[in-house]
Amino acid sequence: MQSDFVYRGRTVTAQDIEFIEHLIADHPALSRRRLSAKLCAAWNWVQPNGRPRDMVARSLMLELHRAGHIQLPTQRFRPPNNVVQHRPPSDATESSSAPLACSLAQLGPLEMQQVRRTAAEKLFDHLLEAHHYLGYTRPVGDYAQMPIMRSWAGFFHFKCGKTASTTEGGNSP
């Protein structure tokens, strides 16, 4: 290893690595998270907002551990990865897959209803997965899910960003 290297804006020297080794040896019962907090406090390693750079310190220590320069305590907790654990929507209910072949006038009155963060969202996501040519993908950011319905047996769907607006009558401008 070089005598000095820069990690995320901080020059790390051989003395710094020795300090980390002593910190670990002095506190063998601490978790990696607690060690990174102690390291930030000892080095006064803070973000511009004044909060400790504990994730940066933790990743530095992990990199030094992987390179064989220090020996970290065993990992105690592995937080879940929500992206990996996310599953496509399950079959919420039976639905008709027969396409409607009629005019809008024959459908009768239509209703537009927000389903985001309601019990109907699961059904909405399932129907998108089952019937949309692209399938279902979990949306990112702020969004509205508003099916245009006559009944849950069949609906039209559109999505709009949070900047979209509608007139009083429910029609798009």
What integer pLDDT is reported at residue 169 of this predicted model? 43
What integer pLDDT is reported at residue 85 of this predicted model? 59
Provide the residue-wise pLDDT of the chain in tens; the chain has 173 residues.
456 778 887 888 999 999 999 999 999 999 999 999 999 999 999 999 999 999 999 999 999 999 899 999 988 887 777 665 556 566 655 556 666 677 777 777 777 778 877 887 888 888 777 777 787 777 776 777 767 666 544 555 444 445 444 444 444 44
Same domain flag for 100 and 151: yes
| Number of Cβ atoms within 10 Å of the Cβ of 58 | 18
What integer pLDDT is reported at residue 61 of this predicted model? 94
Q: Domain ends where: 17, 38, 66?
A: 66
Range of the domain at 32: 4-66
What integer pLDDT is reported at residue 128 of this predicted model? 79
> Would residue 38 count as lying in a domain?
yes
pTM of model > 0.75: no
What integer pLDDT is reported at residue 168 of this predicted model? 41
What integer pLDDT is reported at residue 170 of this predicted model? 43
Per the structure, how many domains does the chain have? Answer: 2
Same domain flag for 89 and 155: yes
> Would residue 170 count as lying in a domain?
no
What integer pLDDT is reported at residue 96 of this predicted model? 60
The 144-151 sheet, strands edge to edge:
111-112, 144-151, 154-160
Same domain flag for 89 and 56: no
Dihedral Cα 136, 138, 144, 150, nearest 10 deg? 20
Write the CA distances from 7 to 4, 58, 59, 60, integer angstroms.
10, 12, 10, 7
Same domain flag for 8 and 37: yes
